[in-house]
């Protein structure tokens, strides 16, 4: 069965080289802002190590912290729900809204709801959802998924956003002034905030000892939605816990410096109990996380705090775009999370990397992303999701390389490497040659030279 | 000191000059070098493609060829990293572990073991240094731009010993070139674009040569340079350190 594949989507993305350059430079600029910010903190590496250790502790004691959080949240008057998977999560949201006779909801940014495809589910059931994060609103108008977890519309140029606003929000044609467009969105969203009875937000951090949760935004849109609605639903991946409130300092210092180079998000809002006459519901979602926790090689991917720095630094992401990962979460982190959910569908993602290791180095919680990409490749091949041609080539290659006689014969017969590597995957139309010349084969191999020039 | 010389398969087959320079340089520095003739490959092309389970034969052969040396040296960061991280054997695990602890990439061997402080080499050209990821981020041959840590570079400090050389600055000091083993064909579009962007950086800064510790990255960039008819050449670090 042929499924969508990163390489093919990346190939399409690369048809417009100027756009690739623009995309690459935009994200590299953010990587540079991150570098500048982190270099102002001599304790940066210690912060990363501390955050990593805190999250390891959380993952090792997750059940205990979840119950502690649930108990304390309930004491505060928050209603806690548990969802085993995306379907249950979506149903809980729908039931809450239906129970109150609500058919319109405002939603601030939550990658979990993207992962669960909540919007589609609600719209299918007659609920209108408006995303209030500006970038999210833009991709929502464009009927596209976000291409980046922090910068959802980073793949869109301002002119394209101007066209969308012209079409949907009635701005003058051809106006692509960012300030004007932002003001338009602000007015449009203001009306939404004022009229919605329900607001959904994500959760960046849930504090076990206090039962509160923290939502980080730059636009204050989570607060606007939550404070103006009578029901606030917070969707939370079950790995979002931290043990104590004092741990927050570590994570808040890391999160936005890693994400955009800002010292902290403009708003880091703590929600601990509902205002009188309103409700707060937290939905704690598993959706494959328990399974990932049970995979020793991949469990620490659950340390992720969704800063997106691995995407900004990834030379492949920058040149293939977020949509080429055909998953809610793109980039290197997406490539190690997605196969857990569907190994066949996402079998291509761990291969969409050169294993350069830059992602692991920028990760604020020190996830060994590139090592996990390597390990996923082994798992995917072992489970039988590699192409048949590739299997045969690899078998042939391993036999030849395990035998000095075969290797030397192969070398003489037209340079072994020319035949198998790096062309091992596909010999039909050598993709190496499309944009690159082949190396000039030398008169003799080093082995042959050595025999002539050095006494054994 | 008895050193076993490990020449990666594609260097043996395509870039014998890099291997010869490595051998001559080590000999010049007083090292007794042996090249085990039955060597082939470290197994990385299979392993990085997800077929590590097929590398058993390569591993056994590698252990047979390279057991018993004081050190094993190779002009490649990538292949050395692979051996360090993935050389295993059911029957000969002790020998495998011994090899993993004794194998060095050339610039690390010169810097950390031989503690070379001067070289008799001369190379009066403008040179761009490509940081190959596995050598840099895997073996820590140079400091990585992502970390808040003091800069250093093993290949860089060796190049500083070469008379007449001018190292050109780069906009992005350690971005991947996009070779990535089978990635270079499986993800042809992104691979080629990454390589083009890398060589553009070197060309913009007037490099006459691009060097590095891994011929694989250089082979990829050379393919792109030659396709555009550029006069800029690639040379392995050993060839510059051995130049006179």
Interface contact flag, B187 A351, Cβ < 8 Å: yes
pLDDT at A401 over 90: no
CB distance from B186 to chain A under 8 Å?
yes
Residue B31, domain member (yes or no): yes
State whether B35 and A403 contact (CB < 8 Å).
Answer: no
Domain boundary among B113, B139, B174: B113
Residues B172 and B135 in one domain: yes
**pLDDT at residue B51 greater than cutoff 90:** yes
Co-location of B21 and B108 in the same domain: yes
Please state, in angstroms and rounded to a whole number, the distance separating the CA atoms of residues B240 and B213.
Answer: 11
Give residue-wise pLDDT tens across range B162-190. 999 999 999 999 999 999 999 999 999 99
| pLDDT confidence of residue A404 | 86
CATH code (residue B156): 3.40.50
Range in A250-259, A270-279, A303-312, A382-391 the model is least confident about: A382-391
The whole-number pLDDT of residue A408 equals 81
What pLDDT is attached to residue A425? 41
pLDDT at position A415, please?
A: 57
How much is the pLDDT for A400?
81
- C-alpha to C-alpha distance for A258 and B187, rounded to whole angstroms: 28
Is there a domain that residue B27 lies in? yes
pLDDT given for residue A416 in this prediction? 54
Nearest to B50 among A20, A380, A444 (CB): A380
Half-sphere exposure of A147 (CA within 13 A, CB side): 21
* B113, B147, B180 - which closes a domain: B113
pLDDT higher than threshold 50 for residue A426: no
**Residue B240 structure tokens:** 């510059």
pLDDT at A210 over 90: yes
Q: Are residues B88 and B140 in the same domain?
A: no
Q: What is the pLDDT of residue A414?
A: 52
**A285, A234 Cβ separation under 8 angstroms:** no
Distance of residue B165 Cα from the nearest chain A Cα, in angstroms: 26
pLDDT of A428 above 60: no
Range of the domain at B192: 126-241
Q: Give how far A19 is from chain B: nearest CA, Å.
A: 12
Comparing A119-123, A215-219, A431-435, B90-94, the range with the smallest average pLDDT is A431-435
Residue ranges of A 418-437 with Cβ closer than 8 A to chain B = 418, 420-426, 430-432, 434-437
Residue to substitute from B3, B8, B12, B175, interface A, most A β-carbons within 10 A: B12
Q: Are residues B105 and B199 in the same domain?
A: no
pLDDT of residue A398: 81
Confidence bin at A4 (pLDDT 50/70/90):
confident
Please report whether residue B25 resides in a domain. Answer: yes
Tell me how crowded residue A183 is: count the other CB atoms within 10 A of its CB.
Answer: 12
Tell me: pLDDT of A418 over 70: no
Distance from the first to the final alpha carbon of chain B:
25
pLDDT at residue A421 above 60? no
CA distance B132 to chain A (A): 8
Region A87-100: mean pLDDT is 98
pLDDT of residue A431: 84
| Alpha carbons A453 and B98: distance in angstroms, whole number | 30
pLDDT tens digits for range B210-231: 999 999 999 999 999 999 999 9
pLDDT mean over B99-114 = 98
Mean pLDDT of A353-378: 98
Structure-token pair, residue A414:
């037209």
Distances (CA, A) of A6 to A17, A229, A349, B19, B87: 17, 40, 7, 36, 30
Mean pLDDT along residues A147-170: 96
In the sheet that holds A198-201, the strands lie side by side as A79-83, A279-285, A231-237, A198-201, A104-107, A128-131
Q: Does the beta-carbon distance from A425 to B185 stay under 8 Å?
A: yes
Cβ of A382 and B148 within 8 Å? Answer: no
Quick one: what percent of chain A has pLDDT higher than 70?
95
Confidence tier at B103 by pLDDT (50, 70, 90):
very high
> ∠ at Cα B139 (B138, B145), nearest 5°?
65
What is the three-state SS of B171-221? CCCCCCCCCCCCHHHHCHHHHHHHHHHHHHHHHHCCCCEEEECCHHHHHHH
Interchain CB distance below 8 Å, B17 and A442 = yes
Enumerate the residues of chain B whose CB falls inside 8 A of the CB of residue A358. Answer: 133, 137, 144, 146, 174-176
DSSP B52: G
Residue of chain B nearest A21, judged by CA positions: B197
pLDDT of residue A319: 98
* Tokens 């294993």 -> residue: A355
- Evaluate whether ipTM surpasses 0.95: yes
Closest residue by Cα to residue A148 from A370, A361, A318: A318
- How many Cβ atoms sit within 10 Å of the Cβ of residue A163? 18
Question: Average pLDDT, whole number, for chain B?
Answer: 97
Shared domain check, B109 and B66: yes
- Number of structural domains, chain B? 2
Task: Give the pairing type, strands B166-167 and A79-83.
Answer: unpaired
What is the distance between the terminal CA atoms of chain A, rounded to a whole angstrom? Answer: 54
Domain layout of chain A by residue ranges: 6-12+291-382, 73-144+158-287, 391-453
SS (H, E, C) chain A: CCCCCHHHHHHHHCCCHHHHHHHHHHHHHHHHHHHHHHCCCCCHHHHHHHHHHHHHHHHHCHHHHHHHHHHHHHHCCCEEEEECCHHHHHHHHHHHHHHCCCCEEEECCCHHHHHHCHHHHHHHCCCEEEECCHHHHHHHHCCCCCCCCCCCCCCCCHHHHHHHHHHHHCCCCCCCCHHHHHHHHHHHHHHHHHHCCEEEECCCEEECCCCEEEEEECCCHHHHHHHHCCEEEEEEECCCEECCHHHHHHHHHHHHHHHCCCCCCCEEEEECCCCCCCEEEEEEECCCHHHHHCCCCCHHHHHCCCCCHHHHHCHHHHHHCHHHHCCCCCHHHHHHHHHHHCCCCCCCHHHCCCCCCHHHHHCCCCCCHHHHHHHHHHHHHHCCCCCHHHHHHHHHHHHHHCCHHHHHHHHHCCCHHHHHCCCCCCCCCCCHHHHCCCCCCCCCCHHHHHHHHCCC
Quick check: B12 and A446 CB within 8 A? yes
Categorize the per-residue pLDDT at A424 as very low, low, confident or very high, splitting at 50, 70 and 90: very low
Residue A407 and residue B147: Cβ atoms within 8 Å? no
Confidence category of residue A391, pLDDT binned at 50, 70, 90: confident
Closest CA in chain A for residue B180: A354
What pLDDT is stored for residue A405 in this prediction? 83
Same domain, B109 and B192: no
Assess if residue B119 is contained within a domain: no
A28/B194 Cβ within 8 A: no
Q: Does A73-144+158-287 carry CATH code 2.60.40.650? A: no
Residue-wise over B216-241: b if at least 16 C-beta within 10 A, else e? bbbbbbbbbbbeeeeebbbbbbbbbb
CA angle A414, A419, A425 (to 5 degrees): 175
Residue B210 lies in a domain: yes
User: Model's pTM, two decimal places?
Assistant: 0.95
CA dihedral B109, B112, B113, B118 (to 10 degrees): 80
Residue A134: cis peptide before it, omega within 30 degrees of 0? no
Q: Kindly give, in sequence order, each residue whose CB lies less than 8 Å from that of residue A148, ignoring residues fewer than 6 positions away.
A: A154, A155, A308, A311, A322, A330, A331
Considering the domain boundaries, does residue B120 fall inside one?
no
The predicted model gives A42-47 an average pLDDT of: 98
Structure tokens at A117: 């495809």
Which pLDDT value is given to residue A419?
53
The confidence score (pLDDT) of residue A423 equals: 44
Percent of chain A residues topping a pLDDT of 90: 86
Residue A440 banded pLDDT, cuts 50, 70, 90: confident
Domain check: are B96 and B141 in the same one?
A: no
Residue A390 has pLDDT above 90, yes or no: no
Same domain, B89 and B141: no
What proportion of chain B, given as a percentage, has pLDDT over 90? Answer: 98
Q: How far apart are CA B172 and CA B214, in angstroms?
A: 18
Q: Is residue B52 part of a domain?
A: yes
- Tell me the average pLDDT of chain A: 93
Q: Does residue B39 surpass a pLDDT of 90? A: yes
What percentage of chain B reaches a pLDDT higher than 70? 100
Q: Which residues 2-61 of chain A have a CB within 8 Å of chain B?
A: 6-7, 10-11, 13-14, 17, 20, 24, 28, 35, 38-39, 41-42, 44-45
Q: Give the pLDDT confidence score for residue A420 in this predicted structure.
A: 55
**Contact B180/A354, CB-based, under 8 Å?**
yes
Pinpoint the alpha helices (H) of B34-187.
44-48, 56-66, 77-86, 93-102, 106-108, 133, 154-159, 183-186
């Amino acid at each position: 069965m042929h499924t969508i594949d990163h390489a093919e989507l990346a190939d399409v993305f690369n048809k417009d080289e100027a756009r690739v350059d623009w995309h690459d430079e935009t994200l590299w600029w953010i990587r540079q802002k991150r570098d500048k910010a982190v270099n102002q903190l001599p304790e940066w590496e210690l912060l990363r190590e501390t955050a990593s250790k805190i999250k390891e502790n959380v993952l090792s004691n997750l059940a205990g912290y979840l119950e502690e959080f649930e108990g304390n949240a309930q004491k505060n008057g928050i209603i806690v729900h548990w969802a085993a998977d995306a379907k249950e999560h979506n149903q809980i949201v729908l039931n809450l809204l239906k129970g109150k006779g609500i058919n319109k909801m405002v939603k601030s940014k939550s990658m979990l709801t993207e992962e669960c495809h909540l919007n589609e589910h609600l719209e299918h059931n007659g609920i209108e959802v408006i995303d209030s994060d500006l970038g999210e609103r833009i991709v929502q108008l464009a009927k596209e998924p976000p291409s980046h977890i922090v910068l959802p519309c980073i793949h869109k140029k301002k002119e394209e956003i101007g066209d969308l606003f012209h079409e949907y929000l009635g701005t003058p044609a051809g106006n692509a002034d960012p300030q004007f467009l932002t003001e338009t969105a602000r007015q449009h969203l203001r009306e939404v905030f004022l009229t919605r009875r329900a607001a959904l937000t994500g959760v960046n951090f849930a504090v076990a000892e206090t039962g509160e949760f923290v939502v980080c935004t730059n636009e204050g849109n989570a607060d606007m939605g939550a404070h103006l609605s009578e029901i606030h639903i917070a969707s939370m991946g079950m790995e979002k816990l931290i043990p104590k409130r004092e741990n927050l300092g570590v994570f808040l210092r890391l999160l936005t410096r890693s994400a955009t180079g800002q010292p902290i998000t403009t708003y880091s809002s703590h929600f601990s109990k509902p205002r009188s006459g309103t409700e707060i519901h937290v939905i704690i979602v598993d959706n494959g996380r328990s399974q990932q926790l049970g995979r020793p090689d991949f469990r620490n991917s659950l340390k992720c705090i969704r800063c997106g720095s691995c995407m900004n630094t990834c030379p492949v992401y920058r040149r293939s775009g977020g949509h080429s990962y055909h998953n809610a979460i793109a980039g290197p982190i997406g490539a190690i999370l997605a196969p857990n959910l569907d190994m066949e569908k996402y079998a291509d993602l761990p291969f969409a990397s050169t294993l350069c290791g830059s992602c692991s180095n920028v990760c604020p919680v020190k996830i060994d992303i590139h090592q996990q990409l390597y390990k996923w490749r082994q798992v995917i091949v072992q489970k039988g999701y590699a192409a048949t041609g590739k299997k045969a080539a690899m078998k042939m290659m391993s036999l030849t390389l395990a035998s000095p006689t075969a290797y030397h014969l192969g070398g003489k017969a037209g340079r072994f490497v020319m035949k198998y590597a790096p062309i091992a995957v596909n010999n039909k139309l050598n993709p190496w040659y499309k944009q690159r010349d082949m190396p000039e084969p030398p008169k003799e191999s080093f082995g042959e030279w050595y025999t002539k020039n050095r006494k054994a | 000191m008895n050193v076993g010389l490990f020449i990666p398969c594609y260097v043996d087959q395509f870039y014998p000059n890099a291997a010869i320079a490595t051998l001559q340089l080590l000999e010049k520095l007083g090292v007794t070098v042996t090249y085990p003739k039955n060597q082939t490959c470290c197994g990385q092309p299979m392993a990085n493609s997800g077929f590590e389970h097929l590398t058993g034969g390569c591993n056994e052969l590698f252990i047979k060829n390279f057991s018993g040396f004081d050190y094993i040296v190779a002009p490649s960061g990538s292949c050395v990293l692979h051996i360090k991280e993935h050389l295993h054997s059911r029957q000969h695990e002790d020998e495998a572990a011994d090899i993993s602890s004794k194998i060095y990439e050339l610039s690390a061997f010169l810097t950390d073991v031989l503690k070379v402080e001067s070289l008799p080499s001369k190379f009066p050209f403008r040179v761009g240094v490509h940081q190959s990821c596995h050598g840099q981020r895997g073996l820590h041959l140079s400091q990585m731009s992502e970390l808040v840590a003091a800069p250093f570079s093993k290949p860089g400090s060796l190049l500083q010993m070469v008379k007449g050389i001018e190292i050109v600055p780069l906009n992005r000091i350690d971005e991947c070139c996009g070779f990535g083993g089978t990635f270079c064909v499986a993800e042809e579009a992104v691979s080629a674009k990454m390589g083009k962007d890398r060589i553009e950086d070197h060309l913009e800064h007037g490099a006459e040569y691009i060097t590095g510790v891994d011929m694989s990255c250089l082979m990829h960039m050379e393919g792109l340079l030659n396709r555009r008819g550029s006069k800029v050449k690639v040379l392995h670090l050993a060839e510059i350190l051995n130049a006179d």
